[in-house]
Structure 1
Amino acid sequence: MACQLLAAAPTPVPDAMQDLAALARAAELASALLPDTPWLQQWHTACLAKSISDILPLTPKDPR
C-alpha cells in the first residue's frame, strides 16, 4: 500500500521540506526489511502506518 501511495504522490515543490521528509520516511520504511522479533515487527508496522498517514494528504483523491 505504501508503495502505491508513494507512486501516486506528486513531487512536492522544493520548499516543502516537511512533505519531502514525509515521502522519504515512507519510502525508507516501505523498502526496509521486516525485523525478526515480533515486537520489532509491530514497531515497524506502527511506524509504517504513521508514515502512510503523513503522506495521505499529499496523494490526489480519486473522485467517485
Structure 2
Amino acid sequence: MAKKDTIKVTLVRSPISAQPSHRECVRGLGLKRMHHTVELEDTPSVRGMVNKINYMVRVEEG
C-alpha cells in the first residue's frame, strides 16, 4: 500500500488583521495558533487554501 502524499503547514503570521475569508482558510486547514503545524493530505483543495494564505504559512513537502 503506497503512502499518500502529505504536506506540513505551519502558521507563521497572525490571522488577526487578515481578511475574514483568509481567517476561514486558516481555520479550515486546522491551524489554531501561531507556530502550530498540521500534516495534511496533498489535494487540490488543500493546495488552493494554502495558496490563498501563502503570506501567512510555511509549507514543507512531506
The answer to whether TM tops 0.5 is no
TM-score (normalizing by structure 2): 0.44
Q: Which structure shows the bigger proportion of residues in strand conformation?
A: 2
Q: Which structure shows the bigger proportion of residues in helix conformation?
A: 1
Of structures 1 and 2, the larger Rg is shown by 1
TM-score (normalizing by structure 1): 0.43
